[in-house]
Amino acid sequence: MNDHNPESVRLALVAMLRRCADFLAALPTNDVDAFLEGDLELRLSVVAKKVRTKKKNSQLNAEQLSDIAKRLRSMDSRASGEQLLHEVAPTRVALEALARHLDVSVRREDRQEDLGRRIIDSTIGFRLSSEAILGRPVARNTFDSIPTGVKK
């Protein structure tokens, strides 16, 4: 306290004592009685305030949502779509925004994985299924490959 202005120190002490007085004034009667009888003691401690950390802004704007949707629709594998979602929409809030943009239903009880799966199904999966039914070749990766021993 050597470097502090004496007036600012006095004001800080007054503010602390006012806080103590406010706390004591708000005590329930039974706690006051217990304090006066010696069953409770008053302790003061200095504790740092909990600082709220700003959440990473995971909201995507309309242009970003459109770009992500376009990229998803052009992909030929579920795995690449899942990778894209992990990169561009890492939070549930971001996935919800993307799902709504794509007209995919969002339920309160949905887990993040469920939202991602439904987004992939609505953008990539339905097209892969349609092309498989029509017998058209689709670029495949290990996740989407046909099991061995199954004929096309």
Domain co-membership, 27 together with 88: no
Residue 88 lies in a domain: yes
Distance CA 14, CA 41 (A): 22
Return all residues near 19 (Cβ < 8 A) that are at least 6 apart: none
Containing domain of residue 13, as a range?
8-37
Residue 121 lies in a domain: yes
Could you give the number of structural domains in the chain? 2
Q: What mean pLDDT do residues 11-28 have?
A: 88
Say what the pTM is. Answer: 0.51
Instruction: Average the pLDDT over 104-109 and give the result.
Output: 89
Let me know whether 67 and 128 are in one domain: yes
Angle at 110 between CA 66 and CA 112, to 5 degrees: 60
To the nearest whole percent, how much of the chain has pLDDT over 70? 83
Q: Are residue 32 and residue 75 in the same domain, yes or no?
A: no
For residues 33 and 88, membership in a common domain is answered with no
| Same domain? 126 vs 88 | yes
Domain-located, residue 140: no
Mean residue pLDDT of the chain comes to: 81
Residues 75 and 121 in one domain: yes
